[in-house]
Structure 1
Amino acid sequence: MTWTVDELLGPKTPEAAPEDAGTALAVLVDEALHRKIDRASVAVTPVTYEMGSISTGALARVHGRDLDGEHWSIFVKVIQHPRHWPLLHILPEPMATEILELFPWRAELCAWEQPFAGMLPDGMRVPALYRVADLGDDRLALWMEDVHASSEVWNLARYARAARLLGRLNARGARPEVMAQAPQPPGFVTRRFADSIPVRGLHALADDAVWAHPWLAEHAGLRADLLALAERIPAALDRLDALPQSMGHNDACPQNLLVPADAPETFVVIDAQFQSASAVGADLAQLLVGMVHAGEHRVAELPAVQSIIGDAYLTGLSDEGVVEDADEVRLGFLGMLLIRSGFTSLPYELMDRTDDPVAAGAFAERVALTRYIADQTRDLF
């Protein structure tokens, strides 16, 4: 769906004049960016995103020139009730019903509210939020700062800095007064991810024809390990629930920790899923593999990244006066890694492109990632 500026600003009142939408945008840009817009230059550019994001209805940049000819831009995210999700129909009916009833699609707004906004340590911030427009039909448009992110590839120093700050965030999120404000019980987010594993991973894992494909035929050992790990998912969830818990980001991949080009020592935190507490260390899971999923890092780099973020995270906890057992942190970290990515990292949709060397290379790298995760977690539960 392509959105116009008028639609993203929300419904007009019955008495509004036709030109009021342009005026509303002019006022918004003036208040947010202190710029006087050239109305004729205004445009909306859609931003691609993964359809697997249940509550994301659209991403776009509204942009143009000001009266001095300088460019301006605002990022707009439409969040929506899961009934609007175009992939809902492929889910088994019980799972679809549960998503419709329980999925907290408005939870992203918590990033700008207490307690989350007050938990962020120095070195982390959320993007400026300029307006929340009610679009009707259980859709909201979040008009926010368009962060011009650095194009530099993440290095070990950046990973360490991010992990240390996540440790500080999680230490603050473990405080009783913060935990008491959680809208969902501990483990809610983790178990919702686990609920999706059958559809996103186990069906293909059980399919002999899939594993006879040339790209998978030589990986019977990986399949056996994944099947064994799948049987341990309930035990893994129980173990994760028994660990110390903390409110955190719940999707702290590098893509959600933006590094502004003009302030590279700061992380701008986006897409926080502040719905329930997770096991201590869980926020490291997406930090570790996010760039491999994006194809920007190789699996061969993961051991060095894993080592440095684990140590830095413990330092971050200590910065806040919290000392956790390193083994428990590792269990929370790798347990969430298994639930989030162990069964769902293989891009089965590429398997019909056997003549495409790029697709073959990408698939082989995901096989290596899945092998890495299985090796890290096979003896944990």
Structure 2
Amino acid sequence: MGRTPDQLGQARPYSLDELLGDDLELDELVTRALGHDGAGATFEVVGYSFGSPATGGLYRLRGPQDPGWSIFCKVLQHPKHWPVLHLLPPSSQEQFLAEFPWRIELDLWEPAVLASLPAGVRAPELHRVIDLGDDRLAVWMEDVEESATPWDLDRYRRAAELLGRWNARSRTAELLGPFPPGYALRMYAQDAVVTRGLGPLGDDELWSHAWLAGHADLRARLVALGQQIPELLDRLDALPQAMPHGDASPQNLLVPASDPGTFVVIDVGMRTPHALGFDLGQLLVGLVHAGTVPASDLPAIADAILPAYVAGLAAEGDPTTPEQVREGFAISAMLRSGFDSFLYDLLSDPTPDNEHCFAERVALCRFLAEQLAATEELAASRGEVEQPRD
């Protein structure tokens, strides 16, 4: 059976002394960040869904209630430290270790990237980067207190519009960088999609399970789409490109309680050039992945974010057409989040809660496949591409 990203392993724990390094004292860090000492601070380990090879741990320093304060720390690591590196095909490991951009999140604070952020989007304040040795970094940054107001369609629209503006402003040679178009998604498709997505589709015993037996049509569609992955990647690379956020889920677009009209962007990833519309994929599926939004909301969210993103592009003078954005959105979302949506590990623990979670992921995959099919039908009706065959 496949394994889900949050079940892949646990990161190495760090002590506060390790995360401060040899030359930084607690009071110095807090004073520089917040203007007062760190008296009464407590050190917390922050839980997270493990899966990113570059994430080595999340931590928080929290001050006493009066005055209340906190500082956040994320450990970035070379993928050689990833506990489940062995799950990649041996043929892929060498290239992955050599080329995976594990420091990419630091790009967010590069002057050119900060200058590309539109009004309404900002980075968290960066306090300090500590070299922990052996290709590990402790990144101390602002701890954003988030608004308790849930995401609604208006917030989705606002986020999509600003992502469109940001992507339009991220199309210069300086920001696109040295990688070829679609490089990160191509790596993902060749490794994760093949092992976690396509592999289980060939398991007849797995697909005879009661939770999957009624979805033979979806299985057949995914098998057919799997054969088209090289063509789909090539089509994405031919579309207008931008340097995306790369993981623009609502969880990474923080809405501060003190300034709910602003998004604080964190955890950028997959930052190689990608087709315009790429960032809409994670915006669409992020809260469904988290289990806080039902898959039945996906059509309404998709209908809201696509035109808002196009409007954001247009507001920055970008001429990319809605049809091009729709194609980039539908193909990249399917490749990034469709094939490996299934939580196969839950099949061995058939509780009602697990059945519901599993069904939600099946519904997510089905929606992404149907969205791609609808996009292809529209393009075929205009004579732009040959309609794919199942």
TM range (shorter): over 0.9
| 1:286-365 → structure 2 map (5 Å cutoff) | 286-354=282-350, 356-365=351-360
Matched-pair contact (CA < 8 Å) for 1:110–1:274: no
Say which of 157, 167, 170 aligns to 1:170.
Answer: 167
Partner in structure 1 of residue 120 of structure 2 = 123
Secondary structure, aligned partner of 1:208 = coil
Return the offset for 1:327. 0.8
Q: State the distance in 2 between where 1:115 and 1:375 align.
A: 38
Partner in structure 1 of residue 259 of structure 2 = 263
Secondary structure, aligned partner of 1:71 = coil
Return the offset for 1:322. 1.1
Partner in structure 2 of residue 110 of structure 1 = 107
Q: 1:121 to 1:274 in 2, by over 3 A?
A: farther
Q: State the distance in 2 between where 1:323 and 1:332 align.
A: 15
Partner in structure 1 of residue 135 of structure 2 = 138
Return the offset for 1:51. 2.1
Q: State the distance in 2 between where 1:11 and 1:185 align.
A: 39
Return the offset for 1:177. 4.3
Q: State the distance in 1 between where 2:114 and 2:178 align.
A: 15
Return the offset for 1:274. 6.3
Partner in structure 1 of residue 52 of structure 2 = 53
Secondary structure, aligned partner of 1:351 = helix
Partner in structure 2 of residue 217 of structure 1 = 213
Which amino acid is 2:14 matched to? Answer: W
Partner in structure 2 of residue 281 of structure 1 = 277
Q: State the distance in 1 between where 2:118 and 2:36 align.
A: 31
Matched-pair contact (CA < 8 Å) for 1:63–1:72: yes
Secondary structure, aligned partner of 1:74 = strand
Partner in structure 2 of residue 34 of structure 1 = 35
Which amino acid is 2:315 matched to? Answer: D
Secondary structure, aligned partner of 1:97 = helix
1:241 aligns with 2:237: yes
TM-score calculated relative to the size of structure 2: 0.90
Partner in structure 2 of residue 78 of structure 1 = 75
Equivalent residue pairs, number: 364
Q: State the distance in 2 between where 1:176 and 1:135 align.
A: 32
Partner in structure 1 of residue 93 of structure 2 = 96
Q: State the distance in 1 between where 2:86 and 2:194 align.
A: 15
Matched-pair contact (CA < 8 Å) for 2:108–2:123: yes
Matched-pair contact (CA < 8 Å) for 1:11–1:135: no
Partner in structure 1 of residue 365 of structure 2 = 370
Q: State the distance in 2 between where 1:183 and 1:135 align.
A: 27
Q: State the distance in 2 between where 1:51 and 1:299 align.
A: 22
Q: State the distance in 2 between where 1:342 and 1:31 align.
A: 44
Q: State the distance in 2 between where 1:223 and 1:242 align.
A: 28
Partner in structure 2 of residue 158 of structure 1 = 155
Partner in structure 1 of residue 3 of structure 2 = none
Deviations 1:275-296 (A, max 9, x none): 3110011111111111111111
TM-score calculated relative to the size of structure 1: 0.92
Secondary structure, aligned partner of 2:63 = strand
1:8 aligns with 2:25: no
Q: State the distance in 2 between where 1:361 and 1:274 align.
A: 30
Deviations 1:109-129 (A, max 9, x none): 100003211110000001000
Which amino acid is 1:118 matched to? Answer: A
Q: State the distance in 1 between where 2:175 and 2:77 align.
A: 26
Deviations 1:195-250 (A, max 9, x none): 22011211111111110111101111111111011111100000000001111201
Query: Unpaired segments of 5 or more residues in structure 2?
Result: 1-11, 377-387
Matched-pair contact (CA < 8 Å) for 2:245–2:271: no
Return the offset for 1:341. 0.7
Q: C-alpha root-mean-square deviation of aligned residues, in Å?
A: 1.4
Matched-pair contact (CA < 8 Å) for 2:244–2:271: no
Secondary structure, aligned partner of 1:8 = helix
Q: Identical aligned pairs, as a percentage?
A: 50
Secondary structure, aligned partner of 1:62 = strand
Secondary structure, aligned partner of 2:214 = coil
Matched-pair contact (CA < 8 Å) for 1:163–1:310: yes
Q: State the distance in 1 between where 2:228 and 2:285 align.
A: 22
Secondary structure, aligned partner of 1:121 = coil
**Larger CA deviation: 153-162 vs 44-53:** 44-53
Which amino acid is 2:152 matched to? Answer: N
Return the offset for 1:183. 3.6
Q: State the distance in 1 between where 2:53 and 2:326 align.
A: 29
1:190 aligns with 2:197: no
Q: State the distance in 1 between where 2:128 and 2:270 align.
A: 20
